[in-house]
Structure 1
Amino acid sequence: MLIDIALDAMGSDKSPEPELRGAILACRHLPVRVHLVGREDVLSKGLRAALDGERLPIEIVHASEHIGMDEKAASAVRTKKDSSMRVGLKLVREKKVAGFFTAGNTGAAMATAKMVLGALPGVDRPALAMVMPTLTGSPSVLLDVGANVDCKPQNFEQFAIMGELYSKSVLKIRRPRVGVLSVGEEEGKGNDLTREAYGLLKQLPINFVGNVEGRDIYNGNCDVIVCDGFVGNVALKTSEGLTRLVREMLKESLTTTVTAQVGALLSRKAFNAFKRRLDPSEYGGAPLLGVRGVCIIGHGSSNDRAIMNGIRVAAEFSQARVNEHIESEFKERPVLPTNGHSLPLQ
């Protein structure tokens, strides 16, 4: 059985070429049927050329508009009612596909998903989660990385539950360690937001390990790291810049160093393995946790491999039934909504 995934074919910086190539890679290597969403005249011509006679389970769904990277999310979502994002997410809402992936405007993708899909019962604010590489080889989950720049402590509580369930269901971590990103490990460290959130998370029936610091994102000491979207996005963008710096510096060293010892230790094969381990394209994109459907958001500079992995993550998220687990969990746990009144979530 093929898993149907909608792909925003007009989203990335260089669309639709990476999307077309990524869809082809996905259909060659994954049990998926890809629905390319965008202008039919553009996509059909490009797809014919890219396939070169090869037959793959790829379909085109027409959308007359697309939202550019430089457009303001709020106005674009309101005015462009036939955008590739909205059409693709409607396919999810109507259960014609199992999930949706876009490498387009992040703000517009989040706003459109909230509007078209709506939030799961009990979820006050959906959160954008990012899988990060660690020294142990077991990835960590950082959330929120940009959906909510201003948060209340109760948002952290909901992020912790959703992140824990995502880690269990998709990353197969049996008992995820959950921490709050702060400026020190001690309970009293941090600002008012993190200190109050610490008290809330400590009362949850999760494996809460307390405050964690920035280095714990990568050292493997914590599996789910909770923060507000402002801090999370800064951490994510800093990580992307540092990763690129390390890759380029290592590449330069390999090119300029001629000693046999260095050549043996840092061979091209080892360098390629190192690049793959840190390459964001291998992680596929960030799921928007807490909406009624599968929505994965990738980087605007996504290449064909990143697009393929975004499709893979959407399929895995759907198969793991993460949304059902989140909805079930929130029905059972009395979590504080941001209005401050403690009520059982229905």
Structure 2
Amino acid sequence: MSAENITSSFDFILLGLLVNSQATGVVFVIIFAIFVAAVTANMIMIFLIQVDFRLHTPMYFLLSQLSIMDTLFICTTVPKLLIDMVSKEKAISFVACGIQIFLYATIVGSEFFLLGLMAYDRYVAVCNPLRYPVLMNKKVCLLLAAGAWFGGSLDGFLLTPIIMKFPYCGSRNINHFFCEIPAVLKLACADTSLYETLMYICCVLMLLIPISIISASYSLILLTVHRMRSAEGRKKAFTTCSSHLTVVSIFYGAAIYTYMLPQSFHTPEKDKVVSAFYTIVTPMLNPLIYSLRNKDVTGAFKKIFARCSSAQKVATTDI
């Protein structure tokens, strides 16, 4: 019996990351390991920022928001992917697919805005250090984070209802490992050109605003760094900014490929590889990029680790 007959008429079938591959077991282990590493690394980052008073700064507050987004991001797609890799039925209900699209669009949109705001934070810290505590006080940080989440949710609320209203009267096989909008749209038995234009405009705006902030911020940062006389100050500024630019390049590059390049550049295989990279690999890379190149984060981790080791030794001695 085919998968279409097993599921109801309101189910989709996710064909998965690999179709009829002999390497499914190996890929499952790799993805599961990346998933565990990503969630663990981001949770550790959030924990360290919360418990170490030296990390109670605007930059690390925004970084904690990035870790929250990355955790939610990878949890939106990977658990379902892992289940499908070991299950014969790869169905996802119409409602579950809509929820996945909404969460995915919201988190991606929120991360777009947040990365732009993080560039603004670096601009203020480098170019206006004396006014930094005023310009980036706690209230401002909360408003910036709330604005990023709100902007992302607008993307989710705008795009999701429209795509779920299209009739899907043909094949239910989504040639992807999650309900990504372009893959779902291919199954609609209606003209989706207007929606695709709307989605393109929406993505351009959501990329143009933060990219403009990032470009302006780093242009001013480069001018300020160039005028610095202290070699140590230059090194610190470049280290902090290069970490952020690395994350921006990876995340925005994948988004531009997925949503802005013409269809002639796309194939199902390429789309799945790019999606796997920024939905599975990137959430693991982000905390590593920031922590491995950041003395404050590594110092906080060593401090907590030393405390835990001391507490364990005391407990062992008492026993």
TM-score (norm 2): 0.26
Q: Tell which has more relative contact order, 1 or 2 (C-alpha 8 A, sep 6+).
A: 2
TM-score (norm 1): 0.25
The higher radius of gyration belongs to 2
